[in-house]
């Protein structure tokens, strides 16, 4: 990977992409002590990657970009579909439904999120703030 503050990987267009993406985020965030919360970053990344696998053409590549920022991290998932992600429904999701909560989770747990057009489709992203460094009691 060319830069110590950014990781980029092309993922398979299968459900195997989700654990690969989680592992990359975990590894990237372990690089700095005060990085964003790894558990939250992994959960939100898994949601973005699962959405890309489910809602885009299987012949289009999916790419994960993890960038460590001075004040946290930003994760982007690039796919080949130029259409923006579907807006989450504001009503209470059915607790028995398997789908429909991913983007709501991303909005609730990230400090910012969104999507943008790219040359080959779109990027859906979120940012998380850095955790404060651990302090010891004297």
Residue 85 included in any domain = yes
* Main-chain dihedrals φ then ψ at residue 7, nearest 5 degrees: -120, 140
In a domain, 35, yes or no: yes
d(CA 30, CA 79): 26
Number of domains in the chain: 1
Domain assignment present for residue 136? The answer is no
Can you tell me the mean pLDDT for 73-90?
86
Tokens of 43: 């959960």
Q: Which tens digit of pLDDT belongs to each residue from 1-22?
A: 344 588 999 999 999 999 999 9
Domain assignment of residue 1, yes or no: no
The CATH number of the domain where 97 resides is what?
3.30.565.10
Q: pTM of the prediction?
A: 0.84
10 within a domain of the structure (yes/no): yes
Q: Is 58 helix (H, G, I), strand (E, B) or coil?
A: coil
Q: Are 41 and 131 in contact (CB under 8 A)?
A: no
Query: Is 15 domain-assigned?
Result: yes
pLDDT given for residue 14 in this prediction: 94
- The domain of 107 spans 6-129
């Amino acid at each position: 990977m060319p830069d110590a503050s950014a990781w980029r990987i092309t993922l398979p267009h299968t459900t195997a992409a989700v654990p690969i993406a989680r592992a990359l985020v975990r590894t990237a965030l372990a690089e700095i002590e005060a990085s964003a919360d790894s558990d939250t970053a992994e959960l939100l990344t898994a949601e973005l990657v699962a959405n890309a696998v489910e809602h885009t053409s299987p012949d289009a590549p999916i790419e994960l970009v993890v960038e460590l920022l001075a004040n946290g991290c930003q994760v982007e998932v690039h796919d080949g579909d130029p259409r923006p992600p579907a807006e989450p429904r504001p009503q209470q999701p059915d607790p028995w439904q398997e789908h429909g909560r991913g983007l709501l989770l991303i909005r609730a747990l990230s400090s910012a999120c969104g999507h943008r057009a790219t040359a080959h489709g779109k990027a859906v992203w979120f940012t998380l703030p850095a955790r404060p460094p651990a302090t010891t009691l004297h």
